[in-house]
Structure 1
Amino acid sequence: MTVALSPTLAVDLAAWPGVVLHIDAAGKVSASNGQLEARLGAPVIGRPVLDLLDADSSAAKWRRIVGGATRPAWELIFGTGEALLETGAYSAIPASEGDGFWLVEHPTPRRLTALAGEVTTINTELAATQRRLVVEQGRLAHALRELERSNAALDEFAHAVSHDLKAPLRGIRQRVDALLDPAASEPDRRAADLTRTRELAERMRQMIDAALAYARAGRVSDRIEAIDIGALLRDVVDYLAPPAEVTVDLAPDLPTIETERVPFEQVFRNLLSNAITYRREAAARIAVTAADAGARWELVVADNGPGIPESQQPQVWRLFHTSRPGDGTGLGLALVKRIVESHGGEIELRSTAGSGAAFHVYWPKHPARATGGSLER
């Protein structure tokens, strides 16, 4: 509330750092900005100003003010007995409307310092709020990027499923058409068509199961445990039971990591299985090593197999991609990449044709929460 104290002076009562009082013609306080009440701990509206001023030092000064004496500043003390306040410098300004005076306390360095402290506190709170907003904006931006990535993955997933499932469907339809052909009466031909139809249906079932497994691979649960990577990989190798000509070397310094066991094991079971499956005819050697990469562990599965030409490397991550006809569903590396990324990691392929392949898995040292979400909507 802004009050015109005189034709040339207006004061915002709420913002003024000192005491502001209006004393009416009867000598009573008729308006206040609340500063004096806060200091005295008592109401002042309606009370005679002489009851509020120190009788020994200030009452006589007030009588001089009322008598018409002027001075740039009056040293007044409010309060009585042991509740005296410190001396304040006040201007006594005749009211521009009606009778009486305005008493306006000059802000002292102490009051200004207190006000500055309040401003500093407000600025600190504003800065903290701004920092929180920046953090929230960062989270929203990250969530938006992840949503865009998830949508892109969903589009790729839908395209792969619709495209690759059409092949067995076409085969099934061709065989059914052949069976419905009246000319196809030879028992051997009918038996062959039925056998092939069953094979195509089984292939389609496998692809549907693979698609569901891929969709679910992006989920991250809270089932976190400490995993001895060396012990886990020894179990994986025992499970895969590689032939005698395959040597799997596990580094002795493989770390212990806190993560989900099942998806972590899936990643390395797929990588080791691929290295065993696509080995050279000669003796094959597979090595698993680990290196500290800051916030992540760099886990490398390297082999001395035929390698992957650079031109073919982008395709190995595609759902249903296989390098040779009949080599499963083509889910393996697509599933591996999805699991790794959904847990906040990355995977890289480094290979040249004829020189083996090395898959570098960068797995977070600390558990991550789901970033990609599930493709199931």
Structure 2
Amino acid sequence: MNSLLKRQIRKHLSDDLAENEQVKAFLDAVNLSYNNFDEQFVMQQRAMQLSSEELFTANQKLQEEANAQKVVINKLNNVVKALNLGQLTTEDGQELVNLDGQKLANFIESQAQKIAEANQQREKLLEELSYQNQELSDYAHMISHDLKSPLRSLDTLILWLYDDNQETFNESDKHTIYQIRSHVEKMELLINGILEYSTIGRAQEGMYIVDVDYAVNEILGRIEIPDNITIEKKQQLPLIKGEKYRIQQIFRNLITNAINFNDKKQGKVEIGFTENEDFWEFYVKDNGKGIEEKYFDRIFKTFEKLEIKVGAIGMGLSIAKKIVTMYGGNIWLKSKVDMGSTFYFTIKK
């Protein structure tokens, strides 16, 4: 029992009452109730302390989660800004200035739906383009066959006509026959060039190791090199991943151009490369006529020729560029008029 209360009660009791058993029982009951109250109070304090600690911990955890969400929302807002989406609006046209979590989630969900629809349209477009490309490829092969056959027949007939009548033909007639055969040959080269250009990237044999040095040596052994032209490889060319035929097309077109457009008495063509971390950089350099800078872009377009040359159809550099692009590289040139040109191209490793 509380000691102060116990002392006050005893002060007002006589000695007989203080010793009375019933009074003692009453006082014990009162004392017990105080003890129970104290125990319950202590338990309540303990419970409140535990609840307070749990609430503090839970509140701290919620605060951390809220802070983490704020960081995520800020990052997502930064992503939206970085995407340069301009003025953001909801579907009902309301401007989104400061996006909270819910608005941002709704916005991202909306954008995700739009992206999914755009991807479906893209897949459909790619499928249609693939179908059209296949049709164009088939059409190019068909036209190539249908045009080359009569051209060859025409060339044969003209040759027979010349053989049968060469004794009666004068120089003007012979020149006319030569011009006709020259144009027939040019037309066949043009058809072959169109066919080559249209099939680049659609008929790949697969990537494998190509000995570029050996491939270039084969080209030099097949093309006609005038006596006044010297071709030099500055070093042994490397092994790269690619297709031998396509790699040879690039070098053949660049080398033959360097030969055909060289006006020097002692023409020089230099072939070399440098190795970079992610790609090979090759070059074909000559000391020929050179090209004005205003034509640098034009010469890589199909059927573009800066001057008339026998056998030139204006497809060589465009074919080279398409192959280089297919390999993820670039092609460009440096040139000065009357001093020569250097064509560079890269192939990814």
The two structures have a TM-score, normalised by structure 1, of 0.47
Residues 220 and 125 of structure 1, relative CA distance in 2, 3 Å threshold: farther
1:1-377 alignment, distance < 5 Å: 60=40, 75-76=46-47, 87-89=50-52, 107-108=55-56, 110-116=57-63, 118-119=65-66, 203-219=186-202, 221=204, 223-240=206-223, 242-252=225-235, 254-280=237-263, 282-322=265-305, 323-365=307-349
Superposed CA deviations along residues 319-344 of structure 1, whole A, max 9, x for unmatched, are 12232153332210111122222322
From the two aligned structures, give the one with the greater helix fraction. Answer: 2
* Amino acid aligned to 1:248: I
Return the alpha-carbon distance in structure 2 between the equivalents of residues 107 and 331 of structure 1. 79
Return the alpha-carbon distance in structure 2 between the equivalents of residues 232 and 197 of structure 1. 35
Identity of aligned residues (%): 22
* Amino acid aligned to 2:51: G
Instruction: Report the alpha carbon displacement of residue 270 of structure 1 after superposing the two structures with TM.
Output: 1.0
Residues 117 and 219 of structure 1, relative CA distance in 2, 3 Å threshold: farther
1:359 is paired with a residue of what secondary structure? strand
From the two aligned structures, give the one with the greater strand fraction. Answer: 1
Tell me, yes or no, if the aligned pair for 1:230 and 1:252 is still in contact at 8 Å: no
Range with bigger deviation, 329-338 or 282-291: 282-291
Return the alpha-carbon distance in structure 1 between the equivalents of residues 180 and 229 of structure 2. 37
Instruction: Report the alpha carbon displacement of residue 224 of structure 1 after superposing the two structures with TM.
Output: 1.7
Superposed CA deviations along residues 274-314 of structure 1, whole A, max 9, x for unmatched, are 11222335232211122245533321110122222344444
Residues 272 and 196 of structure 1, relative CA distance in 2, 3 Å threshold: closer
2:55 is paired with a residue of what secondary structure? coil
Tell me, yes or no, if the aligned pair for 2:210 and 2:240 is still in contact at 8 Å: yes
Instruction: Report the alpha carbon displacement of residue 218 of structure 1 after superposing the two structures with TM.
Output: 4.5
Residues 203 and 227 of structure 1, relative CA distance in 2, 3 Å threshold: closer
Instruction: Report the alpha carbon displacement of residue 114 of structure 1 after superposing the two structures with TM.
Output: 3.5
Number of corresponding residues = 232
Q: Which runs of 5+ in 2 are unaligned?
A: 1-35, 84-111, 134-150, 152-168
For the pair shown, the structure with the greater C-alpha radius of gyration is: 2
Q: Which runs of 5+ in 1 are unaligned?
A: 1-55, 65-73, 78-85, 90-104, 155-171, 173-187, 366-377
Residues 260 and 195 of structure 1, relative CA distance in 2, 3 Å threshold: closer
Return the alpha-carbon distance in structure 2 between the equivalents of residues 268 and 243 of structure 1. 18
Residues 345 and 191 of structure 1, relative CA distance in 2, 3 Å threshold: same
The two structures have a TM-score, normalised by structure 2, of 0.51
Residue in 2 that maps onto 1:164 = none
Return the alpha-carbon distance in structure 1 between the equivalents of residues 333 and 342 of structure 2. 6
Return the alpha-carbon distance in structure 1 between the equivalents of residues 70 and 242 of structure 2. 42
* Amino acid aligned to 1:215: S
The runs of at least 4 aligned residues of structure 1 exceeding 4 Å deviation read: 116-134, 188-205, 218-222
Tell me, yes or no, if the aligned pair for 2:258 and 2:286 is still in contact at 8 Å: yes
Return the alpha-carbon distance in structure 2 between the equivalents of residues 344 and 280 of structure 1. 34
* Amino acid aligned to 1:88: S
Residues 122 and 242 of structure 1, relative CA distance in 2, 3 Å threshold: farther
